[in-house]
């Protein structure tokens, strides 16, 4: 169990969210001014200094519902509004893509490479905002101070903690199915070909040493897989040279203009609309940022932040009223009623009630996930 996995989770899943939303904004042909404003506001909320300070405190990972609620608040920190169905699809795709990247790590240290690739991709979706780029630089400094000096054991525990968090997530993704990296039941496949981390030699050799440490004999065996040695080192600098950090994991696979050479497990094929026609694939996200009732982008430019907050609160209250109306309509549709006489209480039932301890937990105690959610509310 590691208490430092949350920043890695937030940055990487936040990067995937930015990739998806930017691609859908382009696909829906949203005006550039509003699309740029949406992306800038979301990135600014993710890398807010107060949020980062709370994020880097040692803490356990929150539950899946809490994490989904956190990203819902981050997505709604802009003028964009998404429906519940679209938010579910967005979160599922974010989850599966990062889960695949974590499982595909050739080394625990590759987690840092994936995170840096996501930070590079987030910088590309920020438009003409030096202040937001400064916030991303501050996040890089925090990552460098807290993670770059970790040994493989510490990073291994972070990776295991992330895998445990994603254990129950099994949503089929068209891109992974086409590359035969995922099965129909949502599980990932383990390829027979893989790339070794830098500095590791190919398996298949048995070396025998004497009592003074001299090599006396060497045998070989078939490892059962084909491995390639990676000669390039992981680049963890703020800006990568030649746009390569030693792994493609974490790069924007939804960028139709982006091309990368095939490197087996670390590359993806370019996505096209014609290829993605399965039921539970990326095609479902075409409804994101559309002009229907589920999601919309506010046409009015709101300069006052208080007006945006009031608008979001009114939408939430309208949603609650709709839910209440649905509940009342369901109750009216029930014709057969069962009458229960709750006035009579037997002695045995009273003893059971008195023996029950209904004292709940201390209401004043607040978890880290609740603190993060409250802080996002203050930011938005």
DSSP at 182: B
**What local confidence, expressed as pLDDT, does residue 368 receive?**
62
DSSP code per residue over 251-278: S-TT-TT------GGG--PPP-TTT--S
**What local confidence, expressed as pLDDT, does residue 229 receive?**
72
Largest CA distance in the chain: 89
pLDDT tens digits, residue range 161-205? 999 999 888 888 888 888 888 888 888 887 777 777 766 777 888
Q: Which of 105, 101, 98, 139 lies closest to 120, judged by CA?
A: 139
CB of 179 closer than 8 Å to CB of 264: no
Task: Give dist(CA 98, CA 75) in Å, integer.
Answer: 18
Residue 333, pLDDT above cutoff 50: no
Q: Which of 305, 255, 288, 320 lies closest to 89, judged by CA?
A: 288
Non-local CB neighbours of 259 within 8 Å, separated by 6+ positions? 270
What b-and-e string marks burial along 32-52, b requiring 16 or more CB atoms within 10 Å of the CB? eebbbbbbbbbbbbbbbeebb
Domain chopping of the chain, boundaries: 6-188+239-298+370-379
Q: What are phi and psi of 237, to 5 degrees?
A: -75, 165
Q: In the chain, count of helices (H) and strands (E)?
A: 12, 6
CB of 228 closer than 8 Å to CB of 221: no
DSSP at 286: G
Task: Give dist(CA 270, CA 260) in Å, integer.
Answer: 9
pTM of the entire predicted model: 0.66
Query: Which of 186-190, 245-249, 261-265, 308-312 holds the top average pLDDT?
Result: 186-190
Q: Which range, of 88-97, 194-203, 371-380, averages the lowest pLDDT?
A: 371-380
**What local confidence, expressed as pLDDT, does residue 352 receive?**
53
């Amino acid at each position: 169990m590691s208490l430092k996995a949350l920043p890695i989770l937030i940055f990487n899943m936040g990067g995937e969210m930015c990739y998806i939303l930017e691609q859908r904004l382009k696909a829906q042909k949203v005006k550039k001014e509003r699309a740029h404003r949406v992306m800038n506001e979301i990135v600014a909320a993710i890398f807010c200094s107060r949020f980062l300070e709370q994020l880097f405190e040692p803490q356990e990972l929150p539950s899946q519902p809490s994490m989904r609620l956190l990203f819902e608040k981050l997505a709604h920190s802009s003028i964009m509004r998404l429906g519940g169905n679209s938010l579910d699809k967005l979160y599922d795709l974010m989850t599966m893509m990062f889960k695949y990247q974590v499982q595909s790590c050739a080394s625990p240290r590759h987690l840092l490479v994936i995170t840096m690739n996501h930070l590079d991709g987030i910088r590309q979706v920020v438009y003409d905002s030096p202040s937001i780029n400064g916030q991303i630089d501050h996040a890089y400094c925090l990552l460098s101070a807290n993670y770059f000096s970790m040994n493989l054991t510490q990073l291994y525990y972070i990776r295991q903690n992330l895998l445990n968090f994603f254990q129950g997530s099994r949503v089929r993704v068209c891109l992974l199915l086409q590359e035969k990296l995922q099965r129909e039941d949502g599980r990932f496949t383990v390829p027979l070909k893989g790339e070794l981390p830098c500095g590791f030699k190919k398996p298949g050799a048995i070396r025998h040493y004497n009592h003074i440490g001299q090599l006396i004999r060497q045998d070989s065996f078939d490892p059962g897989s084909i491995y390639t040695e990676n000669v390039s080192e992981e680049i963890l600098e703020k800006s990568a040279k030649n746009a390569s950090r030693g792994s493609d994991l974490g790069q924007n696979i939804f960028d139709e203009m982006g091309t990368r050479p095939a490197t087996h497990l670390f590359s993806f094929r370019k996505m096209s609309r014609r290829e993605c026609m399965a039921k539970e694939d990326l095609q479902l996200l075409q409804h994101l940022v559309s002009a229907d009732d589920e999601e919309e982008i506010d046409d009015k430019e709101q300069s006052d932040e208080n007006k945006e907050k009031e608008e979001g609160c009114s939408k939430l209250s309208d949603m609650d009223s709709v839910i209440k109306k649905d509940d009342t309509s369901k109750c009216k549709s029930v014709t057969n009623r069962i009458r229960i006489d709750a006035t009579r209480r037997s002695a045995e039932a009273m003893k059971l009630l008195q023996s029950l301890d209904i004292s709940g937990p201390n209401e004043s105690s607040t978890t880290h996930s609740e603190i993060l959610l409250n802080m996002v509310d203050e930011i938005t």
